Amino acid sequence: LAFCRGRVVRVPKGPLIRVMGTEVVIPCSVSDYDGPSEQNFDWEFSRETDFMRIASTWDPTFTSEEYQKRVGNGDIKLRRSSNDAVELVIRNIQPTDQGRYKCSTPSTDATVQGNYDAEVQVKVISDGLSVSGSKGRSSVSLRLSEGDSFKLRCSASTTSPEHTHLHVTWQIKSGSTWRDILSLTHEGKFHPGLGYEERYRNGDIRLDTGANDTYQLSVSQTSLVDGGAYRCLVSEWVRGADTSWQKIQEKSVEVATVAIQRTDVVISTSNVSVTERDSLDLTCNITTDRSGIFQAEVMWYFSASPDDTLSDAQVLLSVDRDSVVSDSTLISLSHVDRNSYRLLVRDVNVEDSGYYYCQAAVWVPLHNGSWHKVVERTSAPVSVVVTPLEPDYEVFLNASKTPKFSDDPTELNCRIMNAQDTEANIRFTVSWYYRKHLFSDDVVTEELLATMDADWTLLLGDRSRERTQNGEIIFSKKTADTFSLRIQWTSESDRGDYFCVISAWSRHRNNSWVKSKDVTSASVSILWATQGRNL
């Protein structure tokens, strides 16, 4: 029996209930046939007994005179969906289109077996669906701040003679496409749109039904993504003869345009340069058009690098929404006005160079007396460069003892002169250098004799290490402003030019010392007469 079944032509199980003025699509397919893979189809219509020819996929002369105009202007057309399936599309269906529709397939089989046509009944009902905005008003405009709440309403009802169900969807358009927010389906189920699932579970997105066939969308905790046009999309559904749900029409109404004012956190100045020991003054401004009661929570951060995640940032100071400020000795935070918070860092040093951020959270009171955080945002970083406070001083090198003969002593004094801005946080050290004296224009690189680090530890160069350890060379600090180099027995190898470098060191808050300036003296030549040459 299975081998003898033959061709099968299928159309939907009727009756198909459709609404006047809508577009109707009736599919037809064929299976279990012989011949070419692409099959042809003929469509006919009957109100009572006789059938009128509508359209054919293979015969351009098939159409009856009654349908030639509608087929010619595209109000009725055939749309092939595959080699073995086609759709009859009727645009703007009317009550006169109610009746039986027959789909036929010309035979391509070796033997005639199976069914070569199938019929479906189409019932055309009047349009009873009504959709409108709140109280019939046109679209409204709302201007809100981040974190605010709003409600939108639409009305939807039907007077359809059939037992139909409504499917209501709230949508938003923030560009060129509409996106689903939340639906109440024709089966009575709530279905959040893509990206709104969590907000629906949290109760920030709700859809409630009310009196007079109203459908209310409630949105709380608004953010910038909630800005756009809102519409209420309503579709009407009926259960078909095969028990499946079929959408028979759809209408929409634009209800509101919502603009969300961004709450920004901005530090009033851009990149800042401040001199060491001065004060750093920064102001954090919260820009919002919020007119109701709110409190701000502000936190200042410092980071050595411009890291927007603040993962390695140091918290400087904070003020909570009760205006309680965290303590700090050299840093203060004050509330300048309703939306501004000032950070003052006194007695800055080089370590304070880096990036400063202001993070602000806005809180609003709820009806139950509690407070709710509606938005939190972090400013762009402000780059702060602390310029070291360089002491002003000069360096003078002279020879208090010069050799007249080999083995005579040599003594050089390196003095700090005209020093200014050298308070207790400045320390001086010396470095001694030697350069061989040449009579040609050849360049000779200087050699380090000795240098002192910030804690006055003497570090010897290769040239002087052994003789210093033997006591032949003595490095000393005679007075607070004078460093001395003494060669007990000057030798021929000591002939040449000498100079010194005085380094100024600044003490930071952690008691570490950082070099802030170097000043080099003029060179002094150590030479004496030798046999056979007058120098």
Pairing of strands 16-19, 117-125: parallel
**pLDDT of res. 3:** 44
Could you tell me the CA-to-CA distances from 117 to 3, 28, 45, 56 in Å, in that order? Answer: 20, 10, 13, 13
Could you tell me the CA-to-CA distances from 434 to 37, 305, 334, 486, 500 in Å, in that order? Answer: 101, 41, 57, 13, 9
| CATH class (in words) of the domain with range 7-125 | mainly beta
**pLDDT of res. 389:** 75
Is domain 264-387 in CATH 3.20.20.150, yes or no? no
**pLDDT of res. 65:** 93
DSSP secondary structure letter of residue 114 = B
**pLDDT of res. 440:** 65
Closest C-alpha among 486, 487, 522, 488 to residue 502:
522
Could you tell me the CA-to-CA distances from 214 to 114, 154, 157, 289 in Å, in that order? Answer: 52, 6, 9, 32
The token pair at 72 is: 């010619």
**pLDDT of res. 465:** 92
CATH architecture assigned to 392-526: Sandwich (2.60)
**Whole-angstrom Cα distance, residue 387 to residue 65?**
94
Instruction: Choose the CATH number for 129-261 among 3.60.20.10, 3.40.720.10, 2.60.40.10, 1.20.1090.10.
Output: 2.60.40.10
CB atoms inside a 10 Å sphere around CB 340: 15
Running along the chain, 535 residues long, what does each successive block of 10 average in pLDDT? 69 94 95 90 92 94 94 95 96 95 88 87 95 80 90 94 95 93 96 96 94 93 92 95 91 94 83 88 87 85 84 86 77 86 88 91 83 87 87 92 93 91 78 84 82 90 92 92 94 93 84 87 89 49
**pLDDT of res. 1:** 37
Q: For residue 186, which phi and psi values (nearest 5 degrees)?
A: -65, -10
- Torsion angle, CA of 508/513/514/515, rounded to 10 degrees? 130
Q: Which string of DSSP letters, residue by residue, matches 142-198?
A: EEEETT--EEEEEEEEE--SS--EEEEEEEEESSSSEEEEEEE-TTS-EEEPTT-HH
CB 167 within 8 A of CB 185: yes
**pLDDT of res. 477:** 92
**Whole-angstrom Cα distance, residue 484 to residue 399?**
10
Q: Is the pTM of this model over 0.85?
A: no
- Write down how long the chain is: 535
**Whole-angstrom Cα distance, residue 118 to residue 116?**
7
132 beta partners: 155
In the chain, CATH 2.60.40.10 sits at 7-125, 129-261, 264-387, 392-526
